[in-house]
Structure 1
Amino acid sequence: MQGLLEELEKRMQQLLRAMTQARLQGDDTQVAALSEDLKRTQAYWASLALPDTEATQTQPTAAPAAASRPAAAARPARSALPLREQVCQALTLLTVPTAPKVLSQVHEAFFAQPLNTARLTSLRRDEERSYRASSTNRTYYICPALTCDLLAPARALLALSNWPLEQRLVGPITHRVHFLTAALRIADAAEQRTDDDMASGPLRRLLEHYSGNIPGYPVTPGHVNLEALRAAAKDELAVHVQDDANTRAEAAERARTKLDDADQIFGHTLHDANRARRTA
């Protein structure tokens, strides 16, 4: 849970900075929207960090934009949040670039409903167009992960633009590192849920998928041991994490040298590179 609290605290700091910038620009509409986002995020932080009695007094009914834990007794049938904020919720929980199908499963398990994955391709394109038109309007953008070798968009992996560049890169063993990292994050988030939630179809299937694909986890049909899941994931993660971190750090250095700000977020394509050589 500590990791999730830290992510929420970072999100609150980002929102405060964005509100200050919007005020200086005289954009009252943006200030109001960011203020509501900040209130929801603060309330969710309180629901995790404070005793139940205090969190109940401070928590509004709306879910925060970056992450939310809906009440088990009253899950809404449909989220009022835009799709990009639903994607942000799931990515903030996982902290790693993730495929749309898994994002949808995570959102269903923790935020009441699956994502409309058919719209995610157009959403990603809209995000890039918006950034290139005016890169200061939003606190984050939905963007692709980037490959370490070509610094190009990785196929079907979404990330958040406000993550460090190293966090958005994928190398030869990054997919496994991400799988294990996601397993740890899901186990932490699941620990905050009720027994009824744990027994629910979406969350149970998600936990079974991750626990069943990690060597060393003692599989017990119909039951997921969160502590054992964490231990098995950490053991395997320790084998891969340093080599993967070195690969991504080297790729990030190349990206900062060769790519402009937009391409460091959305990547470049071979078509763009060939066009640049012809122009030169």
Structure 2
Amino acid sequence: MRATTNLGNIVRIQLPNIRLYVRFSRLPVAIRAGTLGRLCRRMLEYAAQVVVCGAVTNSLEELDRRIEILRDEVRRALMAGDTVRANQVRVELRRVERAWHDAIDAVAAPDDAAKAAGPLGSILSVRDQVHQALTLLGVPSAPKMVVAVQDVFFAGELSSEKVRHLRRDEERSFRSSPHARPYYLCSALTADRLIAARGLLAVSTWPISRRIVGPLSGRVDFLTGAIHVAEQVGRMSEPTLPAKRLLRRFATSIPSAGDSFDALDPATVAEAARTELAVHQDDDQVQRDVAAERATSQLDERQQLFGSTLTVVSQSTTER
């Protein structure tokens, strides 16, 4: 490695096949080559991590699309009675699914430097951490809320990216081995069309009416989550600053829950949430129960967990 100073505060660093120009706000009079070498290595390691993470994310999306295409091919081959072709495609499907799991492991792998510098974090798997957070909230929730609750109360190592990819993995597991797990992380279902509600996760062991979301459910679930979070904060001997911030996120959208951050009280937030919840809860429960009856009678087990699929009806069919 060779380092030379240029005009002003720019340092040119020459590595094999790489030339870097680094601008410093204050360039010292003398810079040791070892210091610059360490700087270069850190910059290159960071750049490599960014490239790898981006490549893995793109690979996951491509593998998802490939898996869906192969599944369609298997179904078409079976419907046509071509078992030879179906078996060939199934072999390829298993290979692509293994690649998908390898890509997930690459995204979820812990950072070595963080492991060396800090605590080991949660020993639970990603799905168990998500289940833990959802159980505390008690309602269908978005990945960002799941990550926030896990981080505040359980010191987990979740990210929204991990949580988003997890639901597809759960559905694949249920397709291949139904009821092999004690619970599945599934979708909330829309009350009108009984399809997967975008961006909401639920737990398969919940009653189906709780996993239904209707016109009033968004507000009802928000207030229910606020009560559970407030109760959890109230059980802490000394609430941490992140816990207070999370409670404040709920309180700012609830009337009479608290005027300022310093005066925030978990019991007050919970009581204010219960007061508003009483206004909407009965009507929401009626809508959920009606939709739950439809789902139970119209959907199979997998669809009750992950939603029905919309089918396209051709114009010639509707004219008959």
TM-score, normalised via structure 2 length: 0.59
Q: Helix, strand or coil: the match of 1:113?
A: coil
Q: Helix, strand or coil: the match of 1:144?
A: strand
Contact 1:105 1:114 in 2 (8 A): no
Normalized per residue, the structure richer in strand is: 2
**Alignment equivalent of 1:102, drawn from 145, 157, 162:** 145
Q: Deviations over 1:211-264 (max 9, x none)?
A: 111012231232321121111101100000000000000000000111011101
Q: What stretches of structure 1 move > 3 A for 4+ residues in a row?
A: none
Aligned counterpart, 2:136: 93
Q: How far did residue 203 of structure 1 move?
A: 0.8
Normalized per residue, the structure richer in helix is: 1
Q: How far did residue 201 of structure 1 move?
A: 3.0
Aligned counterpart, 1:126: 169
Aligned counterpart, 2:265: 225
CA distance in 2, matches of 1:236, 1:76: 41
**Alignment equivalent of 1:206, drawn from 242, 246, 257:** 246
Change (3 A) 1:135 1:153: same
Moved more, 168-177 or 119-128: 119-128
Q: How far did residue 114 of structure 1 move?
A: 5.0
**Alignment equivalent of 1:247, drawn from 264, 271, 287:** 287
**Alignment equivalent of 2:195, drawn from 152, 158, 163:** 152
CA distance in 1, matches of 2:227, 2:260: 18
Query: Could you say what the CA RMSD is over the residues aligned between the two structures, in angstroms?
Result: 1.8
Q: Helix, strand or coil: the match of 1:262?
A: helix
1:259 aligns with 2:302: no
Q: Helix, strand or coil: the match of 2:168?
A: helix
**Alignment equivalent of 1:178, drawn from 221, 225, 236:** 221
Gap regions ≥5 residues in structure 2: 1-117
CA distance in 2, matches of 1:229, 1:218: 7
Q: How far did residue 163 of structure 1 move?
A: 0.5
Change (3 A) 1:76 1:90: farther
Aligned counterpart, 1:21: none
Change (3 A) 1:274 1:81: farther
Q: How far did residue 77 of structure 1 move?
A: 4.9
User: Could you say which structure has the greater relative contact order, defined with CA pairs below 8 angstroms and 6 or more residues apart?
Assistant: 1
Contact 2:258 2:264 in 1 (8 A): no
1:269 aligns with 2:309: yes
Give the partner amino acid of 2:246.
L
**Alignment equivalent of 1:136, drawn from 179, 184, 196:** 179
Contact 2:147 2:160 in 1 (8 A): yes
How many percent identity over aligned positions? 44
Change (3 A) 1:80 1:130: same
Gap regions ≥5 residues in structure 1: 1-74
Aligned counterpart, 2:206: 163
Change (3 A) 1:114 1:208: farther
Change (3 A) 1:214 1:112: same
Contact 2:143 2:164 in 1 (8 A): no
Contact 1:142 1:160 in 2 (8 A): yes
Q: Helix, strand or coil: the match of 2:186?
A: strand
CA distance in 2, matches of 1:231, 1:187: 9
Contact 2:189 2:306 in 1 (8 A): yes
CA distance in 1, matches of 2:161, 2:258: 36
Aligned counterpart, 1:16: none
Q: How far did residue 140 of structure 1 move?
A: 0.3
The number of residue pairs the alignment matches comes to 198
Change (3 A) 1:111 1:268: same
Aligned counterpart, 2:127: 84
Contact 2:234 2:267 in 1 (8 A): no
CA distance in 2, matches of 1:133, 1:109: 35
Q: Helix, strand or coil: the match of 2:282?
A: helix
Q: Helix, strand or coil: the match of 1:250?
A: helix
Q: Deviations over 1:20-77 (max 9, x none)?
A: xxxxxxxxxxxxxxxxxxxxxxxxxxxxxxxxxxxxxxxxxxxxxxxxxxxxxxx955
